[in-house]
Chains A and B, each alone.
Chain A
Amino acid sequence: MLAFVLFLAIALGFALAAVYAERKVSAFIQDRYGPMEVGYKGLAQTFADIIKLLLKEDIIPSAADRKLFILAPVVIFTSVLAGYAVLPLSPDVIGSNAQVGVFFLLTIISLDVAGILMAGWASNNKFSALGALRAVAQIISYEIPLTLTVLSVVMICQTLNLQEISFQQGIWMNSMEVYSNEHNYLFGIKALGIDVTMTGGILTWNIVRMPLFFIAFIIFFISSLAESNRAPFDIPEAESELVAGFHTEYSGFKFAFLFLAEYSMMLLVCFLAAILFLGSWNTPLPNIGAVKLANWTSGAPGTLAGNVWGAFWLLSKAFFLIYIQMVVRWTYPRLRVDQLMKLSWKVLTPAALIILFISGVWRLLMI
Chain B
Amino acid sequence: MKKGKTLLDDISEAISSLTSGLKITLSHFVNARKHRKPIGIENKDYFAQDKGIVTLQYPLETIPIPDNGRCRLYNEIDDCIVCDLCAKICPVDCIEIEAVKSTEEIGKTSDGTTKRLYAAKFDIDMAKCCYCGLCTTVCPTECLTMTKTYDYSEFDITNMVYHFTDLSPEQAEQKKKDYEEKQKQKQATKVESAVVEIDKNKGNTEDIALKDKPEAKEEKPEVKPAAKPVFKPVIKMTPKPPTPPKNEGEEPEKK
Q: Is the CB of A32 within 8 A of B26?
A: no
Q: Is the CB of B25 within 8 A of A31?
A: no
From known contacts A31-B32, A346-B7, A347-B11, infer whether A330 and B53 are also in contact, taking CB-CB under 8 Å: no
The answer for the CA separation of A346 and B11 in the assembled complex, in Å, is: 10
- List of B residues within 8 angstroms of A330 by Cβ: 25
User: In this complex, which of A27, A29, A347 has the most chain B Cβ atoms within 10 angstroms of its Cβ?
Assistant: A29
How many residue pairs link A and B with beta carbons under 8 A? The number is 41
Q: Is the CB of A31 within 8 A of B57?
A: no
Question: For residues 5 through 30 of chain A, which have their beta carbon under 8 Å from a beta carbon of chain B?
Answer: 25, 27-30
A267 to chain B, nearest CB (A): 21
One digit per residue, 1 when the CB lies within 8 angstroms of any chain A CB and 0 when it does not, for chain B 8-26 equals 0001000000100110111
One of A28, A32, A332 near B18 (C-beta < 8 A): A332
Q: Is the CB of A36 within 8 A of B25?
A: no
One of A31, A328, A332 near B52 (C-beta < 8 A): A31
One digit per residue, 1 when the CB lies within 8 angstroms of any chain A CB and 0 when it does not, for chain B 26-64 equals 101101100100000000000000001111010000000
A60 contacts the other chain (Cβ, under 8 Å)?
no
- List of B residues within 8 angstroms of A158 by Cβ: none
Q: Is the CB of B55 within 8 A of A327?
A: no
One of B7, B21, B29, B57 near A28 (C-beta < 8 A): B29
When C-beta atoms are compared, the residue in chain B nearest to A327 turns out to be B25
The answer for the CA separation of A346 and B7 in the assembled complex, in Å, is: 8
- List of A residues within 8 angstroms of B26 by Cβ: 327
Q: Is the CB of A31 within 8 A of B22?
A: no
One of A25, A32, A328 near B53 (C-beta < 8 A): A32
Using a Cβ–Cβ cut-off of 8 Å, how many residues does chain A contribute to the interface with B?
Answer: 16
The answer for the CA separation of A30 and B22 in the assembled complex, in Å, is: 13
Question: For residues 285 through 299 of chain A, which have their beta carbon under 8 Å from a beta carbon of chain B?
Answer: none
Q: A332-B21, A346-B7 are in contact. List 9 more A-B contacts (CB 8 A).
A: A28-B28, A28-B53, A29-B25, A29-B28, A31-B55, A33-B35, A33-B57, A327-B25, A328-B22
A-B contacts, 25 listed (Cβ < 8 Å):
A25-B29, A28-B28, A28-B32, A29-B28, A29-B29, A29-B32, A31-B28, A31-B52, A31-B53, A31-B54, A31-B55, A32-B53, A33-B35, A33-B53, A33-B57, A327-B25, A327-B26, A327-B29, A328-B22, A331-B24, A331-B25, A332-B18, A332-B21, A346-B7, A347-B7
Q: Which residues of A contact B (CB under 8 A)?
A: 25, 27-33, 36, 327-328, 330-332, 346-347
